Amino acid sequence: MDFTQLLSNFLPAGLLDHFVITDFKEAVRNKEKQTSFFIYLEEKNELPDGYEASLYESKGFYEEKTVQDFPIRGKALYLVVKRRRWRLKSDPNIIIRSDYSFIADGVKLTQEVADFLKGTGRDPRRYNE
């Protein structure tokens, strides 16, 4: 089992269908000096469904976002996500991106984590950073 396969066991189902792991770090995140894990993900260079590949070109990434996921061994787990953007070749003002429903709208948690917290009666927005 390679490192990517090992880390994939700690990620939301289907995430690696659209992203590749580019890095993994263990670092101090907060004032309490608690150690956290960071998994860095970069969107694959695959145009979203429904668009003609010959009409669009990849034009880099949006600013990365940090999403909190389930803790591992008592340490917080953060997914640092870089999403791609594509530009219409004939009109550079038209930019498209993929839509991912596994990230909860309005919170910095994966949909799985948000659903889990909602199920326990806790408000997931309380955990934003």
DSSP 64: P
* Per-residue pLDDT reduced to its tens digit, 58-103: 999 999 988 888 888 888 888 898 999 999 999 999 999 887 666 6
Q: Nearest-CA neighbor of 109 among 94, 122, 96, 98? A: 122
Report how far residue 106's alpha carbon sits from residue 103's, in angstroms, rounded to the nearest whole number: 9
pTM of the prediction? Answer: 0.74
* Per-residue pLDDT reduced to its tens digit, 16-58: 888 999 999 998 866 777 889 999 999 999 998 889 999 999 9
pLDDT at residue number 102: 61
pLDDT at residue number 25: 93
pLDDT at residue number 29: 67
pLDDT at residue number 48: 87
Contact assessment for residue 23 and residue 4, using Cβ atoms and an 8 Å cutoff: no
